[in-house]
Structure 1
Amino acid sequence: MSKSAIDQFTRCIALELASKQVRVNSVCPGVIITEVHRRAGLDEEQYAQFLAKCKQTHALGRPGEVEEVAHSIAFLASDAASFITGVNLPVDGGRHAMCPR
């Protein structure tokens, strides 16, 4: 529910600020290799199993890297994306296009 709210918030704020030439976009990452899952209580074996499951749940067959998300954000913030606003960009290795089990 909260993720859907952020998606809609992105679109609404983009419309509100477009007349001021302010672009508003969001990034929707899939599983990204960080310390967050370990800090949430997963031990090494559980974390390895979690990452292995990404081979089935992500079309590209792997979890993402922090740099991949950062590059997407940098692109959206750059002049190269000057005509993009109101977008919820999946950076998830194709997970959004699948029906993961």
Structure 2
Amino acid sequence: MNASTPADAHARYALNPMYLFRWEETQDAHVLLYPEGIVKLNRTAGEIIGLCDGQETVASIITTLQQRYPGNDQRVAESIRTSLEVFRAKGWIRRQA
């Protein structure tokens, strides 16, 4: 993978400003709100996006979630990288300079 992909360990991502990330009690889930609607996130997606604050690197996000979910570190890391790629492709997150 090249340096522009989310799998770059030093990359930093933040929520696209057109989305609002929050816990929605009525949905019992984290959601992304945007002018045209709402995206209900599963627990994993909510945890990953919650760590995309523009400060955390991909490596630190992976480390944090590996600590929360001990076991198969490689599987957790691959799942996070794949999720970040999907979130970026959907426009939910942006790479920070």
- Answer with 1 or 2: which has the greater Rg: 1
- The structure whose residues are more often strand, as a share, is 2
- The structure whose residues are more often helix, as a share, is 1
State the TM-score, normalizing by the size of structure 1: 0.27
